[in-house]
Amino acid sequence: MTDTKPTIDDVRARYAAAASSVADACCSTECCSDGDDFGSALYSADDIAVLPKTASDASLGCGNPFAVAELREGETVLDLGSGGGIDVLLSAKRVGPTGFAYGLDMTDEMLELARNNQKEARATNVEFLKGVIEDVPLADGSVDVVISNCVINLSLDKPKVLAEMARVLRPGGRIGISDVVAENHLTETDRRDRGEWVGCIAGALSFGEYEQGLAAAGFTDISVEPTHQVADGMHSAIVRAVKR
């Protein structure tokens, strides 16, 4: 069996080390699992080509929420756990000069990396905010779309995260999230046996828990669709929903 529920400092330290390794031009530290199931390999070559290299190098996610969020010109987007900024910068291009993209991260090292990437990309419709995804520093009803890439599974208070997404979304706003999700028959012990919490595995919700949590937070049109397996009974999934 691997780690039990970590502290927020454990999660912060793991991802601070990842940001530092990219900034130092070293190989990426092991945050989420290695290989083609995680990271920049899940983005198209065209997407990667328009970004600073350090933005793609710092990608530690399990999917490509930018590809499924169906962003439109003029929209305001929030990326929870924005890391090196890959999804924020791609979103900013999609929503155009009349739109805006926020990135939220709790790690100083990741924020520094993301802001450097923003400067290199010359993105003016972008702002990176410091904070935690359980307490988003934005006003009620201030965004059209919330995206996130393999971050909600790391939260120690997932109902609060889902409630915060609903709070900051305008009525009819939507989410397009990539996350690791467990098959419904797996217990919490089963999930811990398959990988670490800070490695994006042990803290994953099940398909049913995700659907129930989103409904309780005020979402409708909920879908949680697996895309590929990342461990036995554990899948990267696309999560979509609309705020009532």
Q: Which residue segments constitute the domains of the chain, with CATH numbers given?
A: 8-243 (3.40.50.150)
Contact 179, 208 (CB under 8 A): no
- 61, pLDDT greater than 60: no
Average per-residue pLDDT for the chain: 85
What's the CA gap between 10 and 233, in Å, rounded? 25
- pLDDT 10s digits, 80-98: 999 889 899 999 999 999 9
Q: Which residues fall within 8 angstroms of residue 99, CB to CB, at 6 or more apart?
A: 71, 72, 73, 74, 75, 76, 77, 92, 125
pLDDT for 31 equals: 46
Q: Which residue shows structure tokens 């900024």? A: 85
Residue 227 is encoded by which pair of tokens?
């895309």
Neighbours of 18 (CB within 10 A): 24
- 17, pLDDT greater than 60: yes
- 33, pLDDT greater than 60: no
- pLDDT 10s digits, 154-188: 999 999 999 999 999 999 999 999 999 999 999 99
DSSP state of 134: T
- 15, pLDDT greater than 80: no
- pLDDT 10s digits, 185-240: 999 999 999 999 988 899 999 999 999 999 999 999 999 999 999 999 999 999 99
pLDDT for 28 equals: 40
Tell me the torsion sign for CA atoms 122, 126, 132, 137: positive
Q: Among 8-22, 42-56, 184-198, which is the least confidently predicted range?
A: 42-56
H or E segment to which residue 107 belongs: none
- 73, pLDDT greater than 80: yes
